[in-house]
Amino acid sequence: MDFSLSPELAELQARVRTFVAEQIVPYETDPRYGAHGPSEDLRGELIALARSAGLLTPHAPRELGGLGLGHLAKAVVFEEAGYSSLGPTALNIHAPDEGNIHLLEAVASPSQKQRWLRPLVQGRVRSCFCMTEPPPGAGADPSMLLTTAVRDGDDYVIDGTKWLITGAQGAGFAIIMARMEDGSASMFLADMDRPGIRVARTMDALDSCFTGGHGVVRFEGLRVPASDILGEPGQGFRYAQVRLAPARLTHCMRWLGQARRAHDEALAHARQRQAFGRPLGEHQGVGFMLADNDMDLWSARLHIWHTAWLLDRGERCNFESSRAKVVCSEAQWRVVDRCVQILGGQGVTGEKVVARIFADMRAFRIYDGPSEVHRFSMGRKILAGRADASLRQRGD
């Protein structure tokens, strides 16, 4: 495995780093950045900046206006974008749109790509992914899906409730998972302004980095033409894995940028702040925390790059993406938690960006599968001898 950056990727990394530092970070104190994420007006302004810089939707295919980045290149660019909580919004690589773009590119028909994928890549609309349901419906266990799709002539009629739907408020369209009459699941595409779709409310949450927040969405007699099924009928659970395995990894990439930002803030404080006659960082307790941060950041980055390398080779990486998601979410959380401690009183106030990163990142250990669910899945695969494609190929 050669993780050295090509001259082209190194140049792109530098461009994104400069763009985020000079044009995006100043927006972090913009009053349009509220409790439920950046406003649509602010999002549009950020998107325009990235478009002008030639950095909009870099993971999308070139024929749609993206840069066609592979997974390892995404790891580099997404980390740099994640250095600001608004960077992923600006580059149009935030959740859930980034994962939806990947899914639509892989599964959608040509007409569906023209209708829904192209404007999503161009940043003209947002989307949401409607899978999670309130109890007793689907959460970490998608087999508990309760939302139904019943065939009626040329349409399907969808009924059910979804919640924790990121970006629902203000989204242009939704990808909806629903159970078919035979017990299988399908995905459906529907514009959010159709009769039968209602965003009941926006949920208050710890995080504030996702445009549109997290909503409760109700489907009440929603009629969707059979032509708007995404991919093949009955393949919803398989398509969920097509989407979720890479999406887990891109979360790790973006949050690595936020963890690095928090570390940089804490490091600057440790160098400047005096305590007991010397800089704070020269005290062993603080120096050890900085060292632990460095090790956790590198561990997370290596897990991301290794899994991205496998994906670029065409491997099925469900096991590896679960491992990366657990390792990265927990390592990056430890980094940010230590940074709050190093910053002391400033770390728990709005005086420093670290407090916002701390609140935003806590949910990372839960969404796209809690750490415990991934450990459970990994444990079963390890016992069955089905773990780690990379080791299997080497014969270890």
Report the SS3 class of residue 173: strand
Per DSSP, the three-state class of 336 is helix
Specify the pLDDT at position 173: 98
CATH architecture assignment, domain 237-394 = Up-down Bundle (1.20)
Closest CA to 132 of 379, 368, 381, 372: 368
CB 263 within 8 A of CB 292: no
- CA–CA gap between residue 342 and residue 336 (Å, rounded): 10
Q: Is the pTM of this model over 0.85?
A: yes
Task: Work out the average pLDDT over 303-320.
Answer: 92
Contact between 131 and 240 under an 8 Å Cβ cutoff? The reply is yes
Number of helices and strands in the chain (H, E): 13, 12
Res. 388 pLDDT band, cuts 50 70 90: low
Question: Is residue 299 over pLDDT 80?
Answer: yes
What would the two tokens of residue 391 be? 């080791």
Neighbouring C-beta atoms of residue 126, cutoff 10 Å: 27
Q: Which two tokens stand for residue 178?
A: 């629903």
| Predicted local distance difference test score (pLDDT) of residue 2 | 73
At position 277, the amino acid (one-letter code) is G
What whole-number percentage of the chain has pLDDT above 90? 91
Q: What is the 8-class DSSP label of residue 202?
A: E
* Average pLDDT value over all residues in the chain: 95
Q: What does the pLDDT read at residue 395?
A: 39
Enter the tokens of residue 26: 């100043």
What is the DSSP code string of 275-296? ETTEEGGGSHHHHHHHHHHHHH
Q: What is the pLDDT of residue 391?
A: 52
Domain range list for the chain: 7-94, 127-234, 237-394
CA–CA separation, 208 and 387 (whole Å): 36
Quote the pLDDT of residue 396. Answer: 37
Question: What superfamily in CATH does domain 7-94 come from?
Answer: Acyl-CoA dehydrogenase/oxidase, N-terminal domain (1.10.540.10)
Which pLDDT belongs to residue 54?
Answer: 97
- The separation between CA 193 and the C-alpha centre of its own chain, rounded to angstroms, equals 25
pLDDT tens, position by position, 59-113: 999 999 999 999 999 999 999 999 999 999 999 999 999 999 999 999 999 999 9
Average pLDDT of span 234-249: 91
Q: Which residues touch 51 (CB under 8 Å, ≥6 apart)?
A: 123
What pLDDT is attached to residue 1?
A: 66
**Domain 7-94 shares a fold with domain 237-394:** no
- pLDDT for 316 equals 83
- 144-150 average pLDDT score: 97
Tell how strand 127-130 and strand 173-179 pair up. parallel
Instruction: Name the fold adopted by 127-234.
Output: Butyryl-CoA Dehydrogenase, subunit A; domain 2 (2.40.110)
Quote the tokens at residue 7.
């001259």
CA 288 to chain centre: 30
Half-sphere exposure of 391 (CA within 13 A, CB side): 8
pLDDT at res. 390: 52
